[in-house]
Structure 1
């Protein structure tokens, strides 16, 4: 008798499972059927509405123009189609992108139910970041990536009490300075680090595709304990990396030139000594080693062109865990350090002339010269040089020249440095001083500064073609291929502007003749967001 009951229960269970599966299949069919009906009704309504509007319009035309006919509409459509090839490429690209975005929105609005079993099998071993990060994108190539301190709010969620969406994020930007993708972040971010590619001279299709399929590391703002790895093409979060025990990050990182290893500035929260964390980019960014930075408060670090040497800006400022409070401004000791990237061996260490000249931001010239941005922590009336250079073997820093030594123009704060090695130009920004300045590295003098309130991020312009009338009179001074490229920088600011700063090449070869006011032109494009500290080119 117990055996019969057991078989009966098993039979009932099987019948129940089959019934549930049948109901699920029927629900899927019903959903597909509803989707087809909705699509058909939408198409039918569109056709009927268009026909009705055309009928009303044609009747009105007949009253005014008795000779008008239905053939006029077909003729007009054909004439517009013939004009399409003459339309410039950017509007067509924007129209195509808008269509793609509309298609994505339609698919999300009418998406089919997901098979839970199939999803769980495909996502095995992969973290789903969709609950923590929201990404919207258009299908266009990315030229720059920037952090954002104030993202546009989702208006549909404003009155939702459960909405905990914050303002922080990261955006990808195309050559037209339009936003390609934007991804929300759980906290404010700082440095943006793009994974390099080995052969950046190859312009083949495969090379361009690999350029877009790289990682971009987004560092949390000091003293964050996290950084994130995103896809450069889509903005999707791939990894979220947490700091080791008794460590926090200082907001900057750099890759080895082959893109296999990531180096991150960190703080030992017990001893307050600076550390360099080493992460394997080919193994889900697992931490594999750690070096001393040979200083306190390491901030930005960059890779030397020899791919063997790390260059580190030790800011010299002590901070405790989860705090931005400076603890040692009177006795701080900043330095620039060169380390062997494989063993962490100290190669060189140079200190500035004043112990409160915090060495903060760096850029590397192709010839191995380091460009240095200083943030002075001393009294406001003290005037010290804020933009320096150094090359291995030099015993001290070399300051650039400001007219009448007026470094106060930058209010003792340099936020970013960007170098154009081909044209020997350097751009620095200061949000406190409210300007971006461009230096000629040949003469080591200031070309000009441009007023840009709350500007911070700076990067070299993507390669683009100069107008035909620019550079025609300097054939003897500029190589042919250099004349075809745009000379200048792109600067981001907290007011939502992405500004191109175009440098008149004549200003750098004949600066005594050219009017300083006309040596730099600016072209700004505003977005409804507040860009953050750093902007990085792909």
Structure 2
């Protein structure tokens, strides 16, 4: 069922949107979608010290969040296949507007602002043709949709700008879906995962990395971009084999998978839900909610560092300290995970354990 924009915004007039703490000016803040104890879907801004700045109701489950570089706006995208994205004031928590995907398109849960903040790009599905598109929205015109570009693949999911360029790296997951069938895979056995480097202004593809028929079930979903332009990518595998699930791709499109022992790989259950780099850009954390594990690598040496167990872990973002990550769970609150020792420290004195945290956590303020 499509969300009615006017009714939802009117309902929010009576929704709880209230600061719960006064954030210190130098305190790092995070943002994530979540569900509260009453089953209400929300987006919350919080600190690693445990305070919740606000939690605002959403029309349904949210997925990832992108932040404007030019204003206080943040955009929460619906979980795929969704037809809404909520524009939220990141200072007050007020929902400014609700973006609707046009007929014949649905969102894939991710988006990103142009570097100047004038445009919002969203990964979308051309439902009739099963092709990925990049929806283009004009921020100054109330987030009206002004066009689209091809993503040069099926099922685009996460995306990131390559540092020092105007090009976007897009993770084409390869999975075709239709909202009429929920999350059912319509092209099982015929998936076409790829990583495409495109110019969002023209739609021109600069480079496209494919993984061959033997890895056609390796759905590439999420990205973590390093300052030097290399990106970590995380996958989910549809099939009976057990391939490696996390890899690196260089600026020139050279991809390689990061190795881990078969015993540990099996514990990820062929599913990685999110990936992040630490504050120094050297260490990688990848999370598996199905396996209840966070895995770690050194990006520079490609050395595998080990696992840390946490039930239903998925959201991950860099903590202020190098080598440490904030990780979130759907049923076990939050932890601070140290990559090299695999320690998990509880975020203490907090209200954060009362929320069921969704797939992604993003840094709101460093």
TM-score (norm 2): 0.89
Which structure shows the higher helix fraction? 1
Is contact 1:278-1:287 (8 Å) kept? yes
Q: CA RMSD in A?
A: 1.9
Question: How far apart, in 1, do the equivalents of 2:131 and 2:322 lie?
Answer: 43
- Aligned residue in 2 for 1:334: 193
Residues 121-520 of structure 1 aligned to structure 2 (within 5 Å)? 130-131=12-13, 133-141=15-23, 143-148=29-34, 150-153=35-38, 166-196=39-69, 214-322=72-180, 323-353=182-212, 354-379=215-240, 382-395=241-254, 397-403=255-261, 406-420=264-278, 422-461=280-319, 463=320, 485-503=321-339, 507=340, 519-520=341-342
Which structure shows the higher strand fraction? 2
- The Cα shift of 1:175 comes to 3.8
Query: Number of aligned pairs?
Result: 345
The higher-RCO structure (CA 8 Å, 6+ apart) is 2
Question: How far apart, in 2, do the equivalents of 1:305 and 1:312 lie?
Answer: 14
- The Cα shift of 1:401 comes to 2.1
Question: How far apart, in 1, do the equivalents of 2:114 and 2:101 lie?
Answer: 20
- The Cα shift of 1:235 comes to 1.3
- Aligned residue in 2 for 1:474: none
Is contact 2:311-2:332 (8 Å) kept? no
C-alpha distance 288-437 of structure 1, shift in aligned 2 (>3 A)? same
Partner SS, residue 282 of structure 1:
helix
Is contact 1:133-1:237 (8 Å) kept? no
- The Cα shift of 1:284 comes to 1.8
Greater gyration radius: 1
TM-score (norm 1): 0.61
- The Cα shift of 1:307 comes to 4.1
C-alpha distance 404-319 of structure 1, shift in aligned 2 (>3 A)? closer
Question: How far apart, in 2, do the equivalents of 1:394 and 1:135 lie?
Answer: 44
Is contact 1:501-1:520 (8 Å) kept? yes
Partner SS, residue 12 of structure 2:
coil
C-alpha distance 194-400 of structure 1, shift in aligned 2 (>3 A)? same
Matched, 1:533 2:353: no
- The Cα shift of 1:341 comes to 1.8
